[in-house]
């Protein structure tokens, strides 16, 4: 289910629950407030989707993967980063260098 459908379903369930367990003018005011809040949240979601259509269709790790792909594509013509010196953590244990590659013990 999409985000808008989940918000609409939650707002509808809240409105039904409120209508069932309240009475009088409080019931009407509560249901109207819940439906207005639900519509406001749906409008915010749709505004975000208009501004950021790619991010609005992806969720969680898909967004991270998409961002990493964008960074890799943007960095194709850049040189590889240079090896940097290991900087020790002042409050921690001393850093350990990586073992040599390809050496069998």
Could you report the per-residue pLDDT of 47-71, keeping only the tens digit for each? 988 998 877 777 778 888 888 887 8
If one counts the domains in the chain, the total is 1
Q: Output the pLDDT for position 81.
A: 63
Its domain, for residue 40, covers: 3-60
Q: Which two tokens stand for residue 86?
A: 């290991």
The helix (H) or strand (E) run that includes residue 98 is: none
In a domain, residue 34? The reply is yes
- Phi, psi (deg, nearest 5) at residue 65: -60, -45
In a domain, residue 77? The reply is no
pLDDT, average across residues 1-16: 85
In a domain, residue 40? The reply is yes
Q: Which two tokens stand for residue 99?
A: 């073992």
In a domain, residue 52? The reply is yes
């Amino acid at each position: 289910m999409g985000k808008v459908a989940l918000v609409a379903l939650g707002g509808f369930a809240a409105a039904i629950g409120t209508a069932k367990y309240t009475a009088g003018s409080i019931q009407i005011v509560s249901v109207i407030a819940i439906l207005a809040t639900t519509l406001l949240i749906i409008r915010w979601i749709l505004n975000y989707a208009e501004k950021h259509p790619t991010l609005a269709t992806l969720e969680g790790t898909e967004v991270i993967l998409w961002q990493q792909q964008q960074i890799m594509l943007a960095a194709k013509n850049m040189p590889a980063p240079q090896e940097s010196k290991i900087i020790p953590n002042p409050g921690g244990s001393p850093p350990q260098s990586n073992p040599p590659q390809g050496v069998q013990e």
